[in-house]
Amino acid sequence: MTQQTPRICILGGGFGGLYTALGLSQLPWESTQKPEIVLVDQSDRFLFSPLLYELLTGELQTWEIAPPFAELLQGTGVRFYQAVVSGINIEQRRVHLQDGPEIPYDRLVLALGGETPLDLVPGATSYAYIFRSITDAYRLEERLRVLEESDADKIRVVIVGAGYSGVELACKLADRLRERGRFRIVEISDQILRTSPEFNREAAKKALETRGVFLDLETKVESIGQDTISLEYKNQTDTIPVDLVIWTVGTRVTPVVKSLSLKQNQRGQITTSPALQVPEHPEIFALGDLADCCDAEGQQIPATAQAAFQQADYAAWNIWASLTHRPLLPLRYQQLGEMMALGKNNATLAGLGIKLDGPLAYVARRAAYLYRMPTLDHQLKVGFNWLVRPIIDTLSQ
């Protein structure tokens, strides 16, 4: 491109996209090389997704876990567009926005995340709830309120998937609905939390058992109706009544990414080098859920928030290096352990030689996430609120 000021266009404002933008804004650019950084997301807010569960129990408020991009990017020089990406022309190096401008770029960061597929079983699109965004949380909250205000003696909830999301939701909602809740988790494999450390898996089993959550392992969802769900276990199908079905299984890349003529794996993820570059288009970097990436040691990078944090640091550095003619760094991924919320005031944590569960793990998890929040200003606001709120609540009782 003949453009004088290089333009970096970042698509997606999740952990990968936002933290790359913030990283780029802080790197030592010479005045003649300082690029224009553009961040595009369809929402007006960043979402600290590991804390989304706490909205359903009232432990946290929206502003704490979903600050507006305008607030986070203030003073950084990053330009933000709230828009849906309708197309990417990788030959002409242009991004097309729905109802927005066309953005030419010198460097492109693909960090659009994934989406939860609901078309895997009949009825899921119409009747199942997903839990991935603030909008999903509000929609689920609305349904829960209707059920709580009804005359029903019991509220029957089925959660599809016994991964992190399914287990954390089950514990949080069981603590919210208490004796009115009747919970079951449906899982196609023979155990919960397949990729989790043993310590966390055992803590989760105990938490689910304590809350009376029923586990349907090696069970497949056949279909979902307005107030029923059909489950298949050992070639037998049972249809049971249900008030709420939450679908937490699977992730797939967005159609706009899938349509790109770039090397992709079977799941549609874009193959990258350890430096997070797309080999056939080195001006494009991909990270997060949509990237199929191995690090410098050949270790496959998981699609987790923790991985996206680390990828963002390398993506920012490597884009800066590519524009300032410095060597790029291959990602060296560090597995820092795993944390899960298991209801109110309860969590589990395993990693870096530490194993904790219960209230202490809950506090450690909060502290770790506070440290990871995107800006110092937001960390201070949230941290102050977490310290002061319990005192106010105690005084107002």
Question: What does the block give as tokens for 210?
Answer: 């304590």
Residue 39 is predicted with a pLDDT of: 97
Q: How many domains does the chain have?
A: 3
Residue 397 is predicted with a pLDDT of: 65
State how far the Cα of 75 lies from the Cα of 12, in Å rounded to an integer.
Answer: 20
Residue 34 is predicted with a pLDDT of: 85
State how far the Cα of 209 lies from the Cα of 216, in Å rounded to an integer.
Answer: 13
Residues 129 and 236 in one domain: yes
Residues 360 and 261 in one domain: no
Question: What does the block give as tokens for 324?
Answer: 């300032």
Residues 222 and 316 in one domain: no
State how far the Cα of 339 lies from the Cα of 325, in Å rounded to an integer.
Answer: 39
Look-up: residue for tokens 């553009």?
38
- What phi and psi values does residue 190 have, to the nearest 5 degrees? -95, 5
Going residue by residue through the chain, which has 397 residues, state the pLDDT in tens, using 9 for 90 and above. 444 789 999 999 999 999 999 999 999 888 767 899 999 999 999 999 999 999 999 999 999 999 999 999 999 999 999 999 999 999 999 999 998 789 999 999 999 988 888 888 999 999 999 999 999 999 999 999 999 999 999 999 999 999 999 999 999 999 999 999 999 999 999 999 988 889 999 999 999 999 999 999 999 999 999 999 999 999 999 999 999 999 999 888 888 998 888 888 888 889 999 999 999 999 999 999 899 998 898 889 888 888 999 999 999 999 999 999 999 999 999 888 899 999 999 999 998 788 999 999 999 999 999 999 999 999 999 999 998 877 877 777 6
Whether 111 maps to a domain, the answer reads yes
Residues 96 and 128 in one domain: no
Residues 166 and 209 in one domain: yes
State how far the Cα of 395 lies from the Cα of 397, in Å rounded to an integer.
Answer: 6
Q: How many residues in total does the chain contain?
A: 397
Report the Cα–Cα distance between both ends of the chain, in Å, rounded: 64
Among candidate residues 202, 203, 209, the one with its CA nearest the CA of residue 184: 209
Residues 271 and 374 in one domain: no
Residue 1 is predicted with a pLDDT of: 42
Whether 70 maps to a domain, the answer reads no
| Measured CA distances, 91 to 95, 98, 261, 284 (Å) | 11, 19, 10, 11
User: What is the amino acid identity at position 216?
Assistant: D
Among candidate residues 128, 156, 140, 161, the one with its CA nearest the CA of residue 248: 161
Residue 5 is predicted with a pLDDT of: 87
Residues 137 and 222 in one domain: yes
CATH, residue 222? 3.50.50.60
Q: Is 103 strand, coil or helix?
A: strand
Whether 189 maps to a domain, the answer reads yes
State how far the Cα of 211 lies from the Cα of 268, in Å rounded to an integer.
Answer: 38
Q: Within 13 Å, how many C-alpha atoms sit on residue 19's CB side?
A: 21
Helix axes 198-210, 164-177, angle to 10 degrees: 30
Whether 1 maps to a domain, the answer reads no
The sign of the dihedral angle between the CA atoms of 126, 131, 135, 137 is positive
- Number of neighbouring beta carbons within 10 Å of residue 121: 18
Please give the torsion angle defined by the CA atoms of residues 131, 267, 14 and 29, in that order, rounded to the nearest 10 degrees.
180
CB 224 within 8 A of CB 127: yes
Whether 68 maps to a domain, the answer reads no
Residue 351, sorted as left (phi over 0), alpha (psi -120 to 50) or beta, turns out to be left
Residues 315 and 258 in one domain: yes
Give the pTM: 0.91
Domain boundary among 197, 226, 247: 247
| Measured CA distances, 74 to 67, 68, 224 (Å) | 12, 10, 45
Please give the torsion angle defined by the CA atoms of residues 122, 242, 250 and 42, in that order, rounded to the nearest 10 degrees.
90
Domain boundary among 231, 247, 263: 247
Residues 347 and 270 in one domain: no
Whether 72 maps to a domain, the answer reads no
Whether 357 maps to a domain, the answer reads yes
Domain boundary among 214, 247, 280: 247
Residues 193 and 302 in one domain: no
Q: Is 311 strand, coil or helix?
A: helix
Whether 50 maps to a domain, the answer reads no
| Mode of pairing for the β-strands spanning 85-89 and 244-247 | unpaired
Domain that holds residue 379: 338-395
Residues 96 and 199 in one domain: no
Residues 163 and 218 in one domain: yes
